[in-house]
Structure 1
Amino acid sequence: MEIIRYAELKAHPWRNGGGVTREVARHPRSAQDNAWDWRVSIAEVSKAGAFSVFAGMDRVLTVIDGELLLLSVDGAEHPLEKYRPFRFSGDADSAGALPTGDIRDLNVITRNGAFKGYTSIIELSKKRAHPVFEGQFGILLQGQATVSPGTAGGPAPAAPEPVPAELNRYDAVVGSDAETPEIVGRGFLAVVSIDPSHEPGTD
């Protein structure tokens, strides 16, 4: 069971000085600059300004802290409220304004024709565990939660019961179909899914 601890992620300042980004994961991991096929990251936005262009990419942006991001995409304004994912083209001329102050957002960027990214916001339960499958990340946005290895891969061998791991805010649980991690608690979880693309003309 793999947990990516937010506190251990390095902050990378934006070129325009408007914020910083912490990368949660990318594929392939060894890819440099924007040569990756997908990336999941969390950004802190402290100043209005232009967003980077990601040519040939698809973006899903979700405000996860703060009240409002006023996003301009090719001249059209979109008020993005907290926990409402918004999809737009990485090729677009985009910029953000902060009418209510600083925000933090979750970014899922995928290469067109290779992968498709999705973000869902769910409310956690203490009674019903939420599984995180292969190709998914579960990111704790708010509240308190623990994660344990599931038994989706079949009966577990005779061994001591695993101790649930505590999750801190913005920690990410990496999904698996072998021992599907299961998250329980109170609060809100972002479930990011990265699916291989099945567009016409792709393998």
Structure 2
Amino acid sequence: MEIIRYAGLKPQPWRNGGGVTREVAAFRSPEADTAAPADIGAAPAVRGQDAGWQWRVSIADVSKAGPFSPFPGMDRVLTVIEGDLLLLSVDGVEHPLEKYRPFRFSGDAASSGTLPTGDVRNLNVITRSGAFKGYTSIVELSKKRAHPVFEGQLGILLQGQATVSPGIAVAGSGAEPDPASASGTDLPAGPETLERYDAVVGSDTATPEILGRGFLAVVSIDQVAGGL
């Protein structure tokens, strides 16, 4: 079970001074690293804005109105996760983005933002058009029914208190026995506490399960058939 701790992410200042971005995870192009597999949990995240990535999930703090960086050939899904409102202009058309309402637009478009109610924090999912498709869903957590995070997904705690535990590995699934369990085969490790904006990497073997109260962003990255 892999957890990407928000506290360990390095802030990268924007060139225009309007904010900072923290990269949660990314996948570089096969040309940049032919050994890199195309799924979220299979390799360490690629750091840096010039790494030739095919998709990227990041959290950005926006403190000043101004233009957003263009991403030619990319699709974008932006979600305000802290703050009340971002007025996003896309090719001259203004879109009021409220908290927890994902908005999709083209990275080719000329885009900029204004902050009528103050600073905001955004969750950004950017994918290479024709190769990957990104989705963001906001779900309310429960203390009684665990929310699973499957392969190709990230579960990011946006608000509240939550813990995550690995599910029980199914026989024949190929999952490695958990060394922390009593028998090594049928008991998952104990739950780990999630802090705000920590990300859980999904898996289809011993699938992580999140319990708590609050809101979770579920980011899904799907590979387009024939895209790579």
Consecutive unaligned residues of structure 1, counting only runs of 5 or more, are none
Residue in 2 aligned with 1:22?
22
Corresponding residue SS for 2:53: coil
Q: Secondary structure at the match of 1:162?
A: coil
Question: Per-residue deviation at 1:202?
Answer: 4.1
In 2, Cα distance between equivalents of 1:57 and 1:165: 35
Residue 150, structure 1, aligned to residue 177, structure 2: no
1:55 to 68, 72, 76: 72
Which structure shows the higher strand fraction?
1
Alpha-carbon distance in structure 2 between the residues aligned to 1:154 and 1:108: 34
Q: Is 1:175 aligned to 2:192, yes or no?
A: no
2:117 is the counterpart of 1:117: no
Following superposition of structure 1 onto structure 2, how do residues 41-120 of structure 1 map, counting pairs within 5 Å?
41-120=58-137
CA distance in structure 2 between the partners assigned to 1:116 and 1:152 by the alignment: 28
Paired with 1:77 and 1:148, the residues of 2 have a C-alpha distance of 42
Q: Secondary structure at the match of 1:148?
A: strand
Mapped partners of 1:91, 1:98: distance in 2 = 22
Return closer, same or farther for 1:202/1:171 CA change in 2, 3 Å cut-off.
closer
TM-score (norm 2): 0.84
Cα gap change, 1:59 to 1:125, in 2 (>3 Å)? same
Counterpart contact for 1:115–1:196, Cα < 8 Å? yes
Structure 1: which 4+ aligned runs deviate by more than 6 Å?
Answer: none
Q: Do the aligned partners of 2:23 and 2:47 also contact (CA within 8 Å) in 1?
A: no
Provide the secondary structure at the position in 2 that maps to 1:134. Answer: coil
Give the alignment's TM-score, normalised by structure 1.
Answer: 0.94
2:24 partner letter: V
Q: Indicate which of 189, 195, 216 corresponds to 1:189.
A: 216
Supply the AA of the counterpart residue of 1:100: T
* Distance in 2 separating the partners of 1:31 and 1:144: 28
**How many corresponding residue pairs?**
201
Q: Give how far 1:179 is off.
A: 1.3
Q: 3-state SS of the aligned residue for 1:7?
A: helix
Q: CA deviation at 1:153?
A: 3.3
Q: Distance in 1 between matches of 2:194 and 2:62?
A: 24
In 2 relative to 1, CA 98–30 (structure 1 residues): closer, same or farther, beyond 3 Å? Answer: closer
Question: Could you say what secondary structure the match of 2:7 adopts?
Answer: helix
2:148 to 113, 119, 131: 131
Asked whether the equivalents of residues 39 and 108 of structure 1 are also in contact (C-alpha less than 8 Å), the reply is yes
CA contact (8 A) 1:153 1:177 kept: no
Q: AA paired with 1:185?
A: G
Q: Structure 1 residues 157-166 or 14-23, which shifts more?
A: 157-166
Question: Aligned partners of 1:48, 1:89: CA distance in 2, in Å?
Answer: 20
What residue identity is the alignment partner of 1:109? Answer: I
C-alpha offsets along residues 19-75 of structure 1, whole Å, 9 cap, x if unaligned? 000000000245861610000000000000000000000000000000000000000
| 3-state SS in 1 of match to 2:150 | coil
Higher mean C-alpha deviation, range 96-105 or range 29-38:
29-38
Identity %: 75
Residue 165, structure 1, aligned to residue 192, structure 2: yes
How far is the alpha carbon of 1:149 from its aligned partner? 0.2
